[in-house]
């Protein structure tokens, strides 16, 4: 039976994707060691939404509202010693929502784990994530939403580790609240995993494979400025979070723009000062609370970055990136089946390289990512439709069963209402037996 639960609640863009990929990739090895990796991921996404009372649940199947119950029941049913629940957007739950969520784990030893990174980099990452959902404001005039912005998934409410730890760890001993810092200097993914493993008791598990494929979803400064301008040009023609996540985030940002450039994004002096103040506040609060720290709290301080701001990007650079993006979107449209007469990868797919050498280097990677993306876009739609069909079929079956019960009950009533002289005892008994079989 589960004795200890490690609840990794965020924050976003703090190595969480890598950590979750390692956990999933090694789930069987961990299970043999008595550790459950709770999931699946869709349940975790819905569970975080349910815990936070997210209004977007209204657009999802009713089962999404009970996802936290399913996850916690899975943990309680586990026969091993410990379990790990990891999803970064638990981070912006209020203290009351966190307390209610933890009540589902009452009786178990719960440890809350918060991961955090250089808070200067967190500002640029937060702005990028907002771009993926239609933001048009330039970075230079933007700042992360404050702690009081309860609905914000990309602000100091989720990125500042002391805020997250304070809300989720309010009812726990300080020794059961862990802050894991992302190494400030490049030291490979092994160091981040080592820190997370020490916080979750996994450092004693042998044979884990850390060689997971890491998708870099960050934009270069030119591509970020291009996306911002595209958002303005769309003028609201793509609406709703689900549509934006599919077309703006998955297709345009991750599939097309991210592979085109990696030039880092700088910060304004005011933003660097804000990040430094947040880091100072976080370090002081974490130290005063006595939380267990895995890594170095100085990793939270913004490191100096010699990088351009999006406003420094020239129109010519944006136009060059846009030309590459348009070319690759044409390739994607054909691969996705816009022209079924042209086989993907056939002779007609050959193009003559006309762009500079840097462009040639990235276009192969982009085309590969687009070919992989075409199928998942269709598969997600098909999976959604299949789930809806299954729900409708279940409703039809329930309706059919109800009609059968009503029909058999009508037979019984019809027999019983006949005058005694006209009643057929055998038919009456047959109708009663039929109704009993179908209804009880």
In-domain check, residue 45: yes
The answer to whether residue 10 sits within a structural domain is: yes
Picking from 277, 300, 323, the residue at the C-terminal end of a domain is 300
Q: Is the pLDDT of residue 402 over 90?
A: no
Looking at the 3D structure of the chain, how many domains does it have?
2
Give the pLDDT score at 394.
75
Q: Residue 81 maps to which CATH number? A: 3.40.50.300
124 near 267, Cβ under 8 Å? yes
pLDDT tens digits for range 223-282: 999 999 999 999 889 988 888 988 999 999 999 999 998 899 999 999 999 999 999 999
pLDDT of residue 347: 37
Domain end marker among 248, 275, 300: 300
Same-domain check for residues 39 and 171? yes
Q: What are the residue ranges of helices labelled H in 90-220?
A: 95-103, 119-131, 156-159, 161-168, 188-200
Whether residue 413 has pLDDT greater than 70: no
Is the confidence at residue 437, as pLDDT, over 70?
no
Bigger pLDDT: 297 vs 10: 297
Q: Give the pLDDT confidence score for residue 105 in this predicted structure.
A: 96
Query: Quick one: pLDDT band at residue 422, thresholds 50, 70, 90?
Result: low
The answer to the question of residue 375 being in a domain is: no
> For residue 427, what pLDDT is reported?
65
The mean predicted confidence, pLDDT, of the chain is 84
Q: Compute CA distances 305 → 88, 124, 188, 263, whole Å.
A: 26, 11, 20, 12
Does residue 323 lie within any of the structural domains?
no
275 is a domain residue: yes
In this predicted structure, the answer to whether residue 118 has a pLDDT above a threshold of 90 is: yes
| 375/430: higher pLDDT | 430
pLDDT surpassing 90 at residue 140: yes
Give me the residue label for tokens 């059919």.
Answer: 400
Do 291 and 397 fall into the same domain? Answer: no
Model-level pTM?
0.74
Whether residues 175 and 278 share a domain: the answer is yes
Same domain, yes or no, for 188 and 291? Answer: yes
Q: Is residue 407 one of the residues assigned to a domain?
A: yes
| Average pLDDT of the residues in 362-381 | 47
Work out the widest C-alpha separation in the chain, in whole angstroms: 101
| Phi, psi of 280, deg, nearest 5 | -60, -45
Give the residue numbers spanning the domain of 112: 4-121+135-215+267-300
Q: How far apart are alpha carbons 147 and 100 in whole angstroms? A: 20
Task: Say whether pLDDT at 343 is over 60.
Answer: no
Do 413 and 276 belong to one domain? no
Considering the domain architecture, whether residues 279 and 402 belong to the same structural domain is answered as no
Q: Does residue 414 share a domain with residue 284?
A: no
Task: Name the band, by pLDDT with cuts 50, 70 and 90, for residue 390.
Answer: confident
Q: Residue 4: is its pLDDT beyond 90?
A: yes
- Do you find a cis peptide bond into 357, omega within 30 degrees of 0? no
Give percent of the chain above pLDDT 90: 62
Tell me how far apart the alpha carbons of residues 197 and 297 are, in angstroms, rounded to a whole number.
17
pLDDT over 50 (residue 368): no
pLDDT per residue over 162-211, tens digit each? 999 999 999 999 999 999 999 987 666 689 999 999 999 999 899 999 98
Domain presence at residue 23: yes
Give the tokens for residue 394: 């279940």
* Shared domain check, 295 and 408: no
pLDDT at position 217 is 76
Tens of pLDDT, residue by residue over 123-139, are 999 999 999 999 999 99
Average pLDDT over residues 90-96: 95
3 state SS of 233: helix
Domain presence at residue 337: no
Are 26 and 160 within one domain? yes
The pLDDT of residue 123 is 94
């Amino acid at each position: 039976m589960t004795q200890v639960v490690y609840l990794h609640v965020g924050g976003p863009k703090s190595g969480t994707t890598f950590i979750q990929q390692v956990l999933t990739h090694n789930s069987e090895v961990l299970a043999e060691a008595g550790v459950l990796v709770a999931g699946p991921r869709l349940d975790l996404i819905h569970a975080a939404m349910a815990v936070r009372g997210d209004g977007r649940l209204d657009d999802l199947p009713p089962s999404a509202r009970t996802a936290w119950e399913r996850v916690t029941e899975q943990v309680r049913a586990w026969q091993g010693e410990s379990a790990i629940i990891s999803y970064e957007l638990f981070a912006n739950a209020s203290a009351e929502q966190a307390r209610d969520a933890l009540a589902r784990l009452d009786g178990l030893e719960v440890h809350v784990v918060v991961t955090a990174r250089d808070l200067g980099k967190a500002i640029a990452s937060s702005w990028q994530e907002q771009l993926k959902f239609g933001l048009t404001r330039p970075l230079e005039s933007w700042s992360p939403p404050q702690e009081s912005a309860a609905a914000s998934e990309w602000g100091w409410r989720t990125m500042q580790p002391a805020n997250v730890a304070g809300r989720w760890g309010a009812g726990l001993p300080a020794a059961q609240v862990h802050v894991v810092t992302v190494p400030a200097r490049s030291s490979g993914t092994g160091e981040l995993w080592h820190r997370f493993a020490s916080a979750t008791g996994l450092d004693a598990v042998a044979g884990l494979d850390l060689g997971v494929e890491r998708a870099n979803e960050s934009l270069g400064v030119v591509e970020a400025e291009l996306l911002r301008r595209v958002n303005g040009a769309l003028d609201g023609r793509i609406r709703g979070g689900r549509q934006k996540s599919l077309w703006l985030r998955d297709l345009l940002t991750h599939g097309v723009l991210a592979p085109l450039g990696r030039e880092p994004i700088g910060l304004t002096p005011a933003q660097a000062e804000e990040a430094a103040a947040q880091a100072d506040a976080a370090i002081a609060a974490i130290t005063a609370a006595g939380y267990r720290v895995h890594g170095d709290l100085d990793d939270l301080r913004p490191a100096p970055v010699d990088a351009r701001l999006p406003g420094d990007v020239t129109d010519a650079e944006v136009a060059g990136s846009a030309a590459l993006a348009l070319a690759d979107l044409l390739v994607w449209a054909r691969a996705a089946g816009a022209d079924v007469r042209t086989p993907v990868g056939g002779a007609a797919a050959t193009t003559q390289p006309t762009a500079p050498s840097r462009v040639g280097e990235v276009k192969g990677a982009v085309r590969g990512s687009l070919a992989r993306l075409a199928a998942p876009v269709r598969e997600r739609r098909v999976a959604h439709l299949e789930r809806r069909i299954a729900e409708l079929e279940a409703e039809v079956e329930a309706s059919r069963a109800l009609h059968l019960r009503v029909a058999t009950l009508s037979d019984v009533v019809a027999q019983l209402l006949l005058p005694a002289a006209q009643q057929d005892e055998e038919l009456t008994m047959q109708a009663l037996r039929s109704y009993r079989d179908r209804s009880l």
